[in-house]
Amino acid sequence: MAEQLIISVSGLRGIVGENFTAAIAAEYASAFGTFLKRSAAQKKGKLTICIGRDSRPSGLMLCAAVAGGLSSVGIDVIDIGIVTTPAVGVMLRELNCAGGIVITASHNPIEYNGIKLLLDNGMAPPAQSAEKIKQYYFAETFDFVGSADCGKLSNDDRANKIHVEKVCSIIAPEKIAARKFKVVLDSVNGAGGAEGKLLLSKLGCDVIAVNDEPTGDFAHPPEPLAQNLTSLCEAVKEQKAALGFAQDPDADRLAIVDENARYIGEEYTLALAVKHILTKRKGSVATNLSTSRMLDDIAKKAGVRVFRTPVGEANVAAAMLKNNCVIGGEGNGGVIDLRIGPVRDSLVAIALVLEMLAETGKNISKLIDEITPYYMIKDKFGASKEEFERILSNTMDTFATAKIDTTDGCRFDFEDGWLHLRPSNTEPVVRIIAEAKDKKTAEKYIDAIADIRKNMKE
Ligand code: MG
């Protein structure tokens, strides 16, 4: 079966040349532009949107199409080039834009691309607005303008510099520079290489950049998981580096390799950032329901609260704003600091981790060992909506004494671990995550769901 073009809360994603074409990109941009114009009807003057893209070869074609779609509904466009997703969040506010568009398919392979929409506050549109944009797209509700009123196109190449300056403003660069850390950075030929190198050089690091050319020809599968980062681990070992960093193609996620060339897992990126920030600023933390319990332990020690949200950057960012959180993010290596923007940001994560190393004088493996570990298992299975409801109801009976949270699928919290079942937003599958103090206990929870599914079939 051919894959479907996916239009979800966070934007649109498809396979270029198959289900995702320039025409679709232009119309989707026109729908977004129409939505912004109608929402800003009282305000005078023309609206401006900035567009950034990751390094995929299809990015330029889609950028041109998106710019055309916006211009055709009378919106001025500023093309900020190949940049990280968080840099678009920063620039749209810097340039006083009504919104931003990122052309990226994040960690998906090269054949994919996508369009991510951001409002003037740097956040993805809330569900209701996303629904309206989708309606405009399908109903072809486009407020086209005549020739004289078409939007103008301009360029701005300052994104890297401005983003890096902002990140440096929340840390103490001189403390990090004094340590002259040797760092290997793997940007997987995505958009993060230039900014990553600029930041690390400003922080006085000896940078060994691998896969830093923004060709979109990904040197390895682009999701920053252990199995995809063996070459980074080897480079850290060979270079005797203090640590290694891996970005995903749009550089909103970061994974870390320690000085012993050990991949330490994306969950630790956020755990370290949270632990470090809480030594400086006392305030709440927000994260999604699928993120490790390490955060609860760290927050508890610091005497602050953790707000749990449905999975998705926009949900976490909204909770951070609502509850005045000093730090937040998702367990996939996505750290959010609202002083930079409500977007997951690998540069923020790099800066905070290096500052933590500099201030504690400890190496990264020691900092990891100081965090009580958990064992996490991620799995998925195919299920219709009805099957999922039945599985959930049976699971609730099985674990009747657990603490239950139903804001996104269902999370069961036990004394010795937790289990989260949620239907995917993008695939007809149910994601299942279990975490416990040890492997055996985590497996026990995963097996319990397998048993429930088996019994339902019999
Ligand atoms: Mg990403």
| pLDDT tens track for 39-96 | 987 676 899 999 999 999 999 999 999 999 999 999 999 999 999 999 999 999 999 9
- Which entry of 71, 106, 284, 292 is annotated as an active-site residue? 106
CATH architecture of 6-157: 3-Layer(aba) Sandwich (3.40)
Task: Kindly give, in sequence order, each residue whose CB lies less than 8 Å from that of residue 330, ignoring residues fewer than 6 positions away.
Answer: 270, 287, 288, 290, 291, 311, 313, 316, 344
Give the model confidence (pLDDT) of 358-405 as tens digits.
Answer: 999 999 999 999 999 999 999 999 988 889 999 999 999 999 999 999
The residues, ordered by sequence, that sit 6+ positions from 289 with a Cβ below 8 Å of its Cβ are: 308, 309, 310, 311, 405, 407, 408, 409, 411, 420, 422
Q: In the predicted model, what is the mean pLDDT of residues 286-293?
A: 97
Dist. CA 341 → ligand 1 center (Å): 15
The dihedral over CA atoms of 220, 225, 227, 231, expressed in degrees to the nearest 10, equals: 50
| CATH class of the domain whose range is 375-457 | alpha beta
- Residue 94 region, left (φ>0) first, then alpha (ψ -120 to 50), else beta? alpha
The β-bridge partners of 101 are 51, 117
- 200-232 residue pLDDT tens: 999 999 999 999 999 999 999 999 999 999 999
* Alpha carbons 85 and 26: distance in angstroms, whole number: 20
Please give the span between the terminal C-alpha atoms of the chain, in angstroms, as a whole number.
29
CA 344 to ligand 1 center in whole angstroms: 8
CATH (residue range 174-369): 3.40.120.10
User: Which two tokens mark 348?
Assistant: 């923020």
pTM higher than 0.85: yes
Q: Give the mean pLDDT of 308-337.
A: 96
Domain boundaries defined on the chain:
6-157, 174-369, 375-457
Can you give the pLDDT at residue 71?
98
Could you tell me what percent of the chain has a pLDDT over 90? Answer: 91
| Cα–Cα dist 325/260, whole Å | 33
Tens-digit pLDDT profile for residues 253-273: 999 999 999 999 899 999 999
Mean pLDDT across the chain: 95
- State the distance from the centre of ligand 1 to the C-alpha of 147, rounded, in angstroms: 37
- Written as six digits, the tokens of 321 are 């704003």
201 is catalytic: no
Query: Are 405 and 411 in contact, with CB atoms under 8 Å apart?
Result: yes
CA of 185 to the centre of ligand 1 (A): 16
Determine the residue type at 351. Answer: A
Q: Which two tokens stand for residue 450?
A: 């397998």
Task: Measure 292 CA to ligand 1 centroid, in angstroms.
Answer: 19
CA of 105 to the centre of ligand 1 (A): 7
The pLDDT score that the predictor gives to residue 42 is: 67
Question: What is the Å distance from ligand 1's center to 334 Cα?
Answer: 8
Average pLDDT, stretch 417-445? 92
Predicted confidence (pLDDT) per residue in 150-203, tens digit: 999 999 999 999 999 999 999 999 999 999 999 999 999 999 999 999 999 999
C-alpha 4 chain-centroid distance: 22
Q: CB-based contacts of 352: which residues, under 8 Å, 6+ apart?
A: 171, 272, 273, 276, 277, 335, 337
What's residue 3's pLDDT? 62
- Output the CA 106–ligand 1 centroid distance in Å: 4
Residue 35: CB atoms within 10 Å: 25
DSSP reduced 3-state for 454: helix
Same fold? 6-157, 174-369: yes
pLDDT at residue 392, rounded to an integer? 93
Nearest of 351, 125, 103 to residue 249 by alpha carbon:
103
Task: Give the distance (Å) from ligand 1 centre to CA of residue 345.
Answer: 9
Note the pLDDT of residue 1. Answer: 39
What is d(CA 267, CA 246) in angstroms, rounded to the nearest whole number? 13
Strands 99-103 and 48-53, by their bridges, are parallel
CA of 311 to the centre of ligand 1 (A): 14
Edge-first strand order for the sheet with 11-15 is 6-8, 11-15, 112-119, 99-103, 48-53, 76-82, 153-155
State the Cα–Cα distance between residues 139 and 245, nearest whole angstrom.
44
Residue 32 CA to residue 66 CA, distance in Å, equals 10
Task: Fill in the amino acid letter for 346.
Answer: S
Cα–Cα–Cα angle for 388, 392, 394, nearest 5°? 120
Banded pLDDT at 252 (limits 50, 70, 90): very high
Summarize pLDDT for 309-319 with one digit per residue, the tens. 999 899 999 99
